[in-house]
Chains A and B, each alone.
Chain A
Amino acid sequence: MSSTARSGLFVLACVAVAAAVFAGARAVGNDYVFFAGYTVLQFVVLATAWNILGGYTGYVNFGSAAFFALGAYSTVFLHKAYPLPIPLLIVVSAAVSGLIGLGMGYLTLRLRGAFFSIATLALAVVLQTLVVNWNYVGGARGAYVIRPAEIPELSLPYIQYLFAIMLGLSVIAVATARIVERSKLGYGFATIRDDELAAEASGVPTLKLKLIATTLSGALMGMAGAPFPYFIGYLQPSSAFALEYAVNSIAMPMIGGTTSWIGPLLGALLLGTLQQVTTVTISSAVNLLIVGVLLVGFVIVAPNGLIGLWQRVFSKR
């Protein structure tokens, strides 16, 4: 079977799984399932997006929250200026975040890896300061985005609609990651991660590839943020730019394993669900502590994440 056909099958399988998940969630019938599920899926998109740059090329982005917030604030801006349906908002957010990702990469990717990471932190603070000082999108006070109770055309409660959208985005993100990973592009990324100098010397256009990775990764993160204002109803700079997003989008791929699309998916599903459980049963501060401890523990003890552990247990002997 050709690789295009296999990718097609993979996408079909993803859609089937997503449809099954949606049907399952409706069968449970409790609204909380949709709220919790939306949050977990949002992390699936963020972690997968982070991994396209961080896992495949080895450039660590600490500014996931900034790209996420860009998506969210594009929605707030358009909500006030010219309301569009969410799927279109997602396209706009993807374009905005992708462009910022491209510009960011262009400014810093010619430097050593660590500078890129520091610059992404810088970007997050610059953007947050801009948003705090920008009254049109609510400034420091935040902005209300009132969502309708349901989608009349589909007679679907709004939260189920948002959940379905996030499911769709997860399918897009995971499929993109898998297609990139198995393509020429993916092999190019891997050469950068393993030895950038050698790759450059063998004629791999490293800067171009890195720019593709930052753009793609930024755009997917923006897409994850686009429906967020409708989900939360009241968007503040501190909630859109929360460090929680930056930490989770790094921790989830690191815990799952960074070299393949399964890693971030697995990490996000496990860690995301664990966080929902601890937030409800203990407290949200403790749940953040768990994420931090797991991140540090995994990078020390299991540098290749759960996938690495799995391979170590089952491939030997």
Chain B
Amino acid sequence: MGEVLSYDLLLNAVTAGLLLGGFYAAVTVGVSISFGILDIVNIAHPAFIILGSYIAYYANAQFGLDPIVTSIVALPAFYALGAAIYQVYYLSFEKRGQDSLRGLAFFFGILFITEVVLVLVFGVDYRYVQASYIETSLHVGIVDLPLRMLVPCLMSLVMLASLQLFLTRTFTGRAIMAVAQDQLALQLMAADPIRIKRIAFAISIATASLAGAFLIIIQPVEPSIGREYIGRVFAICVLGGLGSLPGTLIGAMLLGIVESFTATFYGPSWAPAVSFGLLLLTLAFRPAGLLGR
């Protein structure tokens, strides 16, 4: 009897981990582009995700809109925000060749400002959204598939697949993959490296809109929970190998499973340490990641 139960528990823990991992992939893909491909250490990315969550919350609470629909409508705004931030970053740091120390401080400041502004506008209470699918669950055999996890996971896989297609099949996409390696060669191909980087960074911020909607579907959100995601995002990014979207997906699934096991067998209060612990270990022993170059 005990064995049947633990098998049950195990299977459900793995499923929950995979669903969580799918969502983590959506959270990380933006940083995979900005940090992995462009070498811009955007530690403020989780703050933009929380911003996305709050926009989804506001539209849901005021007009009853579906969070995912809201986030798709908000995509151009996030894209523009990303392009603007890149422009400031380029003029202030990249162009002057002092992007490391001050660039980091810049993004840290942006992270902090976003958090404080959200606290000032919405307060520190947890906010959540309402949608028809949040309360229901599918049951396949002994496995539970809560839709509140399944929908973000599937949407996130669609997003990753489209981005991967874009990066490998289109001229702009390939230029983005090339920009970090050889800017001069890119110029010889008649592509402006700054414009390409701006597009890529804008896309990376745009993914935060969708990821933010997924986040608030999965769990209630308050302004400071973005910080927990900094570790997760960079752990996945480093684990999967920088700049590789398939690597990001694998890293995300791995972290999802490890976290789900920790939560099931040791209790959820240990979950935040898992990702950071994993990150520290990866950095110490295999900094190139699993699929690293």
Q: Which residues of A contact B (CB under 8 A)?
A: 54, 58, 60, 62, 107-108, 111, 113-115, 117-119, 121-123, 125-126, 128-130, 132-133, 140, 243, 246-247, 250-251, 254, 258, 285-286, 288-289, 291-293, 295-296, 299-300, 303
Q: Tell me the interface secondary structure of chain B in the complex.
A: helix
Known contacts A126-B280, A292-B112, A299-B92, A114 near B272 by CB under 8 Å: no
Q: Which residues of A contact B41 (CB under 8 A)?
A: 114, 117-118
Closest CB-CB distance, A255 to chain B, in whole Å? 10
The residue from A115, A128, A258, A285 contacting B283, defined by CB atoms under 8 A apart: A115
Query: A132-B269, A285-B120, A289-B116 are known contacts; what are 7 more A-B pairs with Cβ within 8 Å?
Result: A60-B101, A117-B104, A118-B234, A118-B238, A119-B280, A293-B109, A300-B92
Q: Are B113 and A119 in contact (CB under 8 A)?
A: no
Q: Are A129 and B273 in contact (CB under 8 A)?
A: yes
Q: Which residues of A contact B269 (CB under 8 A)?
A: 129, 132-133, 140
Closest CB-CB distance, B144 to chain A, in whole Å? 27
Q: Are A114 and B276 in contact (CB under 8 A)?
A: no
The residue from A113, A125, A295 contacting B228, defined by CB atoms under 8 A apart: A125
Q: Which residues of B contact A286 (CB under 8 A)?
A: 120
Q: Are B106 and A292 in contact (CB under 8 A)?
A: no
Q: Are A58 and B100 in contact (CB under 8 A)?
A: yes
The residue from B110, B276, B287 contacting A126, defined by CB atoms under 8 A apart: B276
Q: Are B277 and A126 in contact (CB under 8 A)?
A: yes
The residue from B110, B115, B238 contacting A296, defined by CB atoms under 8 A apart: B110
Q: Are B112 and A288 in contact (CB under 8 A)?
A: yes
B195 sits at the interface (CB 8 A): no
Q: Once the chains are docked, how many angstroms separate the CA of A108 from the CA of B224?
A: 26
Q: Are A243 and B88 in contact (CB under 8 A)?
A: no
Closest CB-CB distance, B8 to chain A, in whole Å? 27
B194 sits at the interface (CB 8 A): no
Q: Once the chains are docked, how many angstroms separate the CA of A129 from the CA of B268?
A: 11
Q: Once the chains are docked, how many angstroms separate the CA of A117 from the CA of B111?
A: 15
Q: Which residues of B contact A292 (CB under 8 A)?
A: 109-110, 112-113, 116
The residue from A122, A126, A299 contacting B102, defined by CB atoms under 8 A apart: A299
The residue from B98, B279, B287 contacting A303, defined by CB atoms under 8 A apart: B98
Closest CB-CB distance, B179 to chain A, in whole Å? 18
Q: Once the chains are docked, how many angstroms separate the CA of A117 from the CA of B227?
A: 14
A-B contact pairs, 25 of them (CB 8 A): A58-B101, A62-B43, A111-B287, A114-B35, A115-B238, A115-B287, A118-B41, A119-B283, A121-B230, A121-B231, A122-B277, A123-B280, A128-B272, A129-B276, A243-B224, A243-B227, A247-B109, A251-B105, A254-B105, A289-B113, A289-B120, A292-B109, A293-B109, A295-B109, A300-B88
Q: Are B270 and A129 in contact (CB under 8 A)?
A: yes
Q: Are A129 and B272 in contact (CB under 8 A)?
A: yes
Known contacts A114-B41, A296-B110, A107 near B105 by CB under 8 Å: no
Q: Tell me the interface secondary structure of chain A in the complex.
A: helix
Known contacts A125-B272, A286-B120, A119 near B110 by CB under 8 Å: no
B117 sits at the interface (CB 8 A): yes
Q: Are B109 and A122 in contact (CB under 8 A)?
A: no
Closest CB-CB distance, A130 to chain B, in whole Å? 7
B108 sits at the interface (CB 8 A): yes
Q: Are A295 and B277 in contact (CB under 8 A)?
A: no
B119 sits at the interface (CB 8 A): yes
B284 sits at the interface (CB 8 A): yes
Closest CB-CB distance, A260 to chain B, in whole Å? 15
Closest CB-CB distance, A123 to chain B, in whole Å? 7
| Most A-side CB within 10 Å, residue of B100, B228, B270, B277 | B100
Q: Are B104 and A122 in contact (CB under 8 A)?
A: no
Known contacts A122-B276, A129-B270, A300 near B106 by CB under 8 Å: yes
Q: Which residues of B contact A133 (CB under 8 A)?
A: 269-270
Nearest residue (CB) in B for A111 is: B287
Q: Which residues of B contact A293 (CB under 8 A)?
A: 109, 113
Q: Which residues of A contact B101 (CB under 8 A)?
A: 54, 58, 60, 113, 258
Q: Are A247 and B108 in contact (CB under 8 A)?
A: yes
Interface string of B253-293 (1 = CB under 8 A from A): 00000000000000001101100110110011001000000
Q: Which residues of B contact A117 (CB under 8 A)?
A: 41, 43, 104
Closest CB-CB distance, A98 to chain B, in whole Å? 19
Q: Once the chains are docked, how many angstroms separate the CA of A170 from the CA of B220?
A: 42
Nearest residue (CB) in A for B35 is: A114
Closest CB-CB distance, B210 to chain A, in whole Å? 23
Q: Which residues of B contact A115 (CB under 8 A)?
A: 238, 283, 287
Q: Are B231 and A125 in contact (CB under 8 A)?
A: yes
The residue from B104, B119, B235, B287 contacting A60, defined by CB atoms under 8 A apart: B104
Nearest residue (CB) in B for A114 is: B41
Q: Are B272 and A250 in contact (CB under 8 A)?
A: no
Nearest residue (CB) in B for A301 is: B92
Closest CB-CB distance, A12 to chain B, in whole Å? 33
Closest CB-CB distance, A210 to chain B, in whole Å? 14
Q: Once the chains are docked, how many angstroms separate the CA of A107 from the CA of B88?
A: 33
Q: Which residues of B contact A288 (CB under 8 A)?
A: 112, 116
Interface string of B113-137 (1 = CB under 8 A from A): 1011101100000000000000000
